[in-house]
Amino acid sequence: MFNKLTTIKNCIVLLPRKTVEFKRSLQSKSSQVITEAVCADQNHVENSTNPFAVNKKFKANMLENEKEDLESFLSATNTDNKMGRPAISPEERERRLKVLQLEAEVARQEGKRVPTLDSLKDHHWDQIIAMPSRSARMRLYSFLWRNAAIAESKKIKKQEKAAGAQERIEAIRKERAENPHIVYGLGNVSMFLRVYDTTINHWMNHRLIRAMMFSPKIVLDCSYDNQMDRREAENAAKQLMLCFAENRAHDDPFDLHYCNVDLESACMKRLQSFIPTMLNPDFPMNIHSECFTEIFPKDNIDCQKDLETYNADDVYVIGAMVDKRHAEPLSLAKAKRLGLRVARLPLDRYLQWGSGSGKSLTLNQMVNILLDLKKTGDWVTSLKHVPRRKVIDSKERLASFYEKQKNKVNVRVDKIFDDDNAIFKPVNSVRSHKKYLKFNLSTWGSKK
Amino acid sequence: MGQYSKEQFARFKKTYLENRKALEPKEWCNIKRTLKSEFKHINDDNIDATIIGACQSEQLELAKNYIDFITHSGEQPNDATLGYLLRIYNAKYHSNGSSPESLSDGDQADVLNIWKILTEKHKILDSTLCENLIAGLVTTRRWRDGLELLDMIKITRAPSIFAYTEFILKAFSMKDSSLGWSLFEEMMETIDNSRQPNCKIFLTYLTEVSDGVQDTTSGLEKMLQTLEKYNLLVSVKVIDSIKTLAAAYPNLLQATHCHINYMGKCSNCQLSLQAKTLSNVEFEKLRNSVLKKVVVGGDVFQKSTPKEVNDFLNFVDRTAPYDCVIDGLNVAYSKGKKKPQSLADMLVSVVKHFAEKNKHVLVLGRKHMNKWPKNSVQYVKDNASMFLADNLSQDDPFLLYAALKSGPNTDIFSRDLMRQHAYLLGSELKYIFRQWQQQHQYSLVTKTASGRIVIKEPTRHLVCAHKTESTWHIPYKMQYTLHSSDSFEIPEHWLCLNIKKI
């Protein structure tokens, strides 16, 4: 693991949460690097004049939402569903295991979607015994059954395909034998040298190592393990892996740091299964079990950082948490506690947001946005990484376009067919631009 | 049973199995083949149970016929198949009147035999098998042995309403009321709070309790007390049953339908219904929990900051007690207008309503309200205490805390149903909270064009079955619903039941 302790001014901390809240944290007191984190908070997006608006699935008990059913908010804050389970004695465990096996067998005999008992391994049983309810178990069985069914149908297809393989090979051989000319092309005669995967890997790793010396830093804060349940943690691990991969493949990588890592947690275990060499000393991935506040020295920067102009000098902290179940402003809370500044991506300003799936972004989408922002400095191109289904639906868009245009003459129709134009708002109105110049935390959440 | 196309399976049932009592072995083989080919998920292991499950509840002979077919092929029916068979026995038992003679002796012997097989095969049975066994055992004379099955279920999950209901029905029909009621209470404690027990329980109980004068009144009282304890709403069938009971003993019981007016007065007997009061202990508990769980929650930063919470606590200590705590923003946005002027006006009219009655109110809002029209804000400040929270904080928990701190007579004014706060308090306090909320929450209905506001007042009387002097007032609903509504409607239909002391 690389030791990154120089007086680096800016590091962006990405907390391993699936829905990234990109927090900008500012150290309010003296000294050290200001970790900036953009906090994605849904309410703020809705009623702020602030340009930073990464939204998250965080609930906001703000004005507009007060009458909504906020049951999903603050519901099920079961923080110790994995951690605090008391150890059970081996006999007890044995007994429970037997009953659960019988349960699975009977359910299978009834025709429910349960895989055969042979296919359930020990690690499955560990998970199953720890599960709180029968319906949770049945959901897991259903998932495993489905995987098994898919694998089996793939096997059948492969066998069917293999049946005809022999003839196909013969046909190709015959054709080649009949052809007296040289065949040019990949796999035959060509002027290109084969570039192996390992070569590319070495090259990308080298770029990463160079990035560690010279590029701005982003921190992924993995401290939210006990707020995520197992499935969310595994999703978070996949996103972390994608973050790393997409960062490595980009033209101009960041220096990623994973902080507050607990190697025993479900998320990290899954990440290790994705990247087995993660902990090797010569693998260019920075894992820290300490908090980012301890690793990166903090400078005192007085001026307000405007995400409008991405500043390579700032440390960005992104909360890496998957919160499918409940939308709580956990990283906003953490930022407040640590006294860090928060900011959001200006999603509202640049995109017309559709109605589906809230304003939450995955970790790798977040990193991609930042990477492109660093490279081009242009919001429109970098926000292309936001998936299309979240922005305004094309039917909606068409309908709203017609609505506005119905009384006009000389309407230009070609604009609506241009995908990019339609979902990005025009940024040329002078008056609105001035509004977003200053970032003021205390008025951030207020209405326009 | 699986997730294949339901219509497809229904068609299959109709073609092959409907109205048949027995099938030839050849036909059974044919059915098995068809099923395996038509439905992808059906294989050798689950086909037996699927077929038995497809037999309707009246088709006991058909099911037995299939079991014979299996044994003649040299195999033994597997556990799930036996389980489903027990369910069919249970269905037959209920359709024959649920008495000890409903099933023939041969059938009862079959059931006991299956029980023996299963208990010998497995030391501990899983929850599905247990429930199926319970369904079977209540049809026989040895149903009491099934009570230990309930404990077996509890190893892996909470027993379902079905299991408890079967035992309770059997206990009542065997005249063991104490066992029945203790199981009933156990059921109510363990099941999900929102589900309601089946009305069959009460109907069975009432038929059994109608022998003997002494039993009738005390038995009826016991049932009504249980209704009160668990805040249950019975269906109209139970009410009809009570009325027939009352008709049988006209000098003891008098039952009449009635209406309760908004003051809590019964239209029939002119008695006022009991006013809802929370005991001091409950109120204290509620108040402490609100601060701990709702205002602070898991992390005080999620809803506010420690400094703000402290400021608020000091403010309340200084300016309490209040007559009413108003959720400023909820009130302001009631009409859906967005302009600050209209928002401020709504708030002003509500404050005026209370100020005219010389009540001391607290208005909660957020800092951006300072930007509203100055006159309105000034009026509110002059006629009420006002606390403005951060724009980032949640204000509902403050509302609840202020109201509870200021005393049991303080009301709140908000249209918010506060479901998430109720949830955070935990299940036992949730009920107390709901009671307090029903009793104390005003909500704004609308504001007329002339400027008058229409307010919905809280209901001051109890809305469950309860007794005043010697008269019970029992609310009921017209149809049985599986889940109780978490709503704030007061029941429309009531029965006024007078029980004379002997």
pLDDT, tens digit only, all 502 positions of chain B: 345 567 777 877 777 777 777 778 888 888 888 888 888 778 888 888 888 888 877 788 888 888 888 888 888 888 888 988 898 888 888 888 777 777 888 888 888 888 898 889 888 888 889 999 998 888 888 888 888 888 888 888 888 888 888 888 888 888 888 888 888 888 888 876 667 788 888 888 888 777 665 677 778 888 888 888 777 778 888 888 888 888 888 777 888 888 777 777 787 777 777 776 777 788 888 888 877 776 666 565 566 677 777 888 888 888 878 888 888 888 888 777 778 888 888 888 888 888 888 888 888 888 888 888 888 888 888 888 888 887 766 777 788 888 888 888 888 888 777 777 777 777 677 777 777 887 788 877 777 777 777 887 777 777 777 777 778 888 888 776 666 655 556 777 888 888 876 5
Relative to beta strand B441-447, strand A255-259 is unpaired
Q: Which secondary structure element, helix H or strand E, spans residue B366, and what is its range?
A: strand B361-366
The answer to whether residue A298 is domain-embedded is yes
Q: Are B214 and B246 in contact (CB under 8 A)?
A: no
The answer to whether the CB atoms of A74 and B157 lie below 8 A apart is no
Q: In terms of C-beta density within 10 A (0-12 exposed, 13-18 middle, 19 or more buried), how is residue B5 classed?
A: exposed
The answer to whether residue A192 is domain-embedded is no
Does residue B299 sit in the same domain as residue B349? yes
Does residue B295 sit in the same domain as residue B400? yes
The answer to whether residue A240 is domain-embedded is yes
Residue A329: how many CB atoms within 10 A of its CB? 30
Q: Report d(CA B499, CA B217) in Å as an integer.
A: 7
Instruction: Find chain A residues with C-beta within 8 A of B305's C-beta.
Output: 336
Does residue B172 sit in the same domain as residue B196? no
Distances (CA, A) of B329 to A303, A337, B63, B399, B416: 34, 27, 64, 11, 11
The answer to whether the CB atoms of B53 and A111 lie below 8 A apart is yes
Residue of B nearest to A146 (CA): B41
Owning domain of residue B355: 280-456
Residue B263: how many CB atoms within 10 A of its CB? 9
Task: With CA atoms as reference, report the closest residue to B258 among B494, B474, B471, B462.
Answer: B494
Chain A 316-335, residues with CB within 8 Å of chain B CB atoms? 328-330, 332-334
The answer to whether the CB atoms of B79 and A67 lie below 8 A apart is no
The minimum CA-CA distance between A267 and chain B, rounded to whole Å, is: 22
Does residue B330 sit in the same domain as residue B358? yes
Question: Which amino acid, B186?
Answer: E
Q: Which secondary structure element, helix H or strand E, spans residue B282, and what is its range?
A: helix B280-289
Question: Which amino acid, A63?
Answer: L
The answer to whether residue A61 is domain-embedded is no
- The pLDDT, as a whole number, for residue A156 is 92
Domain count, chain B: 3
Q: Are A76 and B425 in contact (CB under 8 A)?
A: no
- Within chain B, what is the greatest distance between any pair of CA atoms? 92
Among the partner-chain residues B46, B395, B396, the one whose CB lies closest to the CB of A111 is B46
**B420: contact with A, CB 8 A cutoff:** yes
- Rg (alpha carbons) of chain B, rounded to whole number: 30
- The pLDDT, as a whole number, for residue A11 is 38
Among the partner-chain residues A102, A108, A133, the one whose CB lies closest to the CB of B157 is A133
Among the partner-chain residues B42, B129, B156, the one whose CB lies closest to the CB of A134 is B156
- The pLDDT, as a whole number, for residue A151 is 93
Does residue B438 sit in the same domain as residue B305? yes
- The pLDDT, as a whole number, for residue B302 is 62
Instruction: Find chain B residues with C-beta within 8 A of A63's C-beta.
Output: 329, 333
Task: With CA atoms as reference, report the closest residue to A360 among A398, A396, A318.
Answer: A318
**B301: contact with A, CB 8 A cutoff:** yes
What phi and psi values does residue A34 have, to the nearest 5 degrees?
Answer: -90, 115
- Mutation target among B52, B301, B425 for the A interface, most CBs of A within 10 A: B301
Tokens of B420: 């998430």
Please report where in the chains the tokens 């079967």 appear, as a residue.
B166
Q: Report d(CA A128, CA B125) in Å as an integer.
A: 17
Per-residue pLDDT reduced to its tens digit, A295-353: 665 542 222 233 444 555 555 666 666 655 555 556 656 655 665 555 666 666 666 66
The answer to whether the CB atoms of B79 and A95 lie below 8 A apart is no
Among the partner-chain residues B46, B391, B396, the one whose CB lies closest to the CB of A446 is B391
Instruction: Find chain B residues with C-beta within 8 A of A111's C-beta.
Output: 1-2, 41-42, 46, 49-50, 53
Domain count, chain A: 1
The answer to whether the CB atoms of B423 and A330 lie below 8 A apart is no
pTM > 0.80: yes or no: no
- The pLDDT, as a whole number, for residue A60 is 31
The answer to whether the CB atoms of A106 and B126 lie below 8 A apart is yes
What phi and psi values does residue B486 have, to the nearest 5 degrees?
Answer: -90, 30
Owning domain of residue A296: 202-346
Question: Which amino acid, A217?
Answer: K
The answer to whether residue A129 is domain-embedded is no
Does residue B299 sit in the same domain as residue B341? yes
Q: In terms of C-beta density within 10 A (0-12 exposed, 13-18 middle, 19 or more buried), how is residue B71 classed?
A: exposed
Per-residue burial over A352-362, b if 16 or more Cβ lie within 10 Å, else e, is bbbeeebbbbb
- The pLDDT, as a whole number, for residue A22 is 37
- The pLDDT, as a whole number, for residue A87 is 65
The answer to whether residue A46 is domain-embedded is no
Who's near A147: CB < 8 A, 6+ residues apart? none
pLDDT < 70 regions, chain A: 1-87, 294-360, 391-398, 400-402, 405-448
Q: How far apart are the first and last CA of chain A?
A: 47
The minimum CA-CA distance between B43 and chain A, rounded to whole Å, is: 9
Q: Report d(CA A437, CA A444) in Å as an integer.
A: 13
Does residue B45 sit in the same domain as residue B126? yes
Instruction: Find chain A residues with C-beta within 8 A of B366's C-beta.
Output: 446
The answer to whether residue A82 is domain-embedded is no
Does residue B35 sit in the same domain as residue B121? yes
Task: With CA atoms as reference, report the closest residue to A226 among A82, A59, A322.
Answer: A82
Contacts A–B by Cβ distance under 8 A: 128
Task: With CA atoms as reference, report the closest residue to B332 among B387, B417, B413, B421.
Answer: B413
The minimum CA-CA distance between A444 and chain B, rounded to whole Å, is: 8
Q: Report d(CA A444, CA A60) in Å as an integer.
A: 13
**Residue A258: strand pairing partners:** A220, A287
Residue of A nearest to B40 (CA): A149
Relative to beta strand A315-321, strand A217-221 is parallel
The answer to whether the CB atoms of B126 and A102 lie below 8 A apart is yes
Residue B167: how many CB atoms within 10 A of its CB? 26
Q: Are B245 and B212 in contact (CB under 8 A)?
A: no
Does residue B385 sit in the same domain as residue B467? no
Who's near B194: CB < 8 A, 6+ residues apart? B483, B484, B486
Among the partner-chain residues A73, A75, A108, the one whose CB lies closest to the CB of B45 is A108
Angle at B394 between CA B390 and CA B396, to 5 degrees: 125
Question: Which amino acid, B387?
Answer: F
Residue of B nearest to A109 (CA): B46
Secondary structure (3-state) at B354: helix
Chain B 45-64, residues with CB within 8 Å of chain A CB atoms? 45-46, 48-50, 53
Does residue B387 sit in the same domain as residue B423? yes
Task: With CA atoms as reference, report the closest residue to A73 among B117, B12, B421.
Answer: B421
Does residue B467 sit in the same domain as residue B406? no
Per-residue burial over A141-175, b if 16 or more Cβ lie within 10 Å, else e, is beebbeeeeeeeeeeeeeeeeeeeeeeeeeeeeee
Query: Within a 13 Å sphere around the CA of B144, how many CA atoms are in the beta-carbon half?
Result: 5
Tokens of A56: 């998250």
Does residue B8 sit in the same domain as residue B125? yes
The answer to whether residue A163 is domain-embedded is no
- Write out B397-442 in H/E/C secondary structure: HHHHHHHHHHCCCCEEECCCCCHHHHHHCCHHHHHHHHHHHHHHEE
Chain B 113-142, residues with CB within 8 Å of chain A CB atoms? 122-129
- The pLDDT, as a whole number, for residue A398 is 64
Question: Which amino acid, B30?
Answer: N
Q: How far apart are the first and last CA of chain B?
A: 54
Write the DSSP assignment of B195-212 as a string of letters.
Answer: B---HHHHHHHHHHHTSS
**A69: contact with B, CB 8 A cutoff:** yes
The answer to whether the CB atoms of A99 and B78 lie below 8 A apart is no
Q: What is the CATH number of the domain that holds B474?
A: 1.25.40.10
**B470: contact with A, CB 8 A cutoff:** no
Who's near B443: CB < 8 A, 6+ residues apart? B413, B414, B415, B455, B456
The minimum CA-CA distance between A123 and chain B, rounded to whole Å, is: 19
- The pLDDT, as a whole number, for residue A198 is 94
Please report where in the chains the tokens 């602030």 appear, as a residue.
A50
What phi and psi values does residue B68 have, to the nearest 5 degrees?
Answer: -60, -40
**B71: contact with A, CB 8 A cutoff:** no
Residue A134: how many CB atoms within 10 A of its CB? 18
Write the DSSP assignment of A222-251 as a string of letters.
Answer: -TTGGGS-HHHHHHHHHHHHHHHHHHHHSS
Tokens of A243: 């973050």
The answer to whether the CB atoms of A102 and B394 lie below 8 A apart is no
- Rg (alpha carbons) of chain A, rounded to whole number: 26
- The pLDDT, as a whole number, for residue A343 is 60
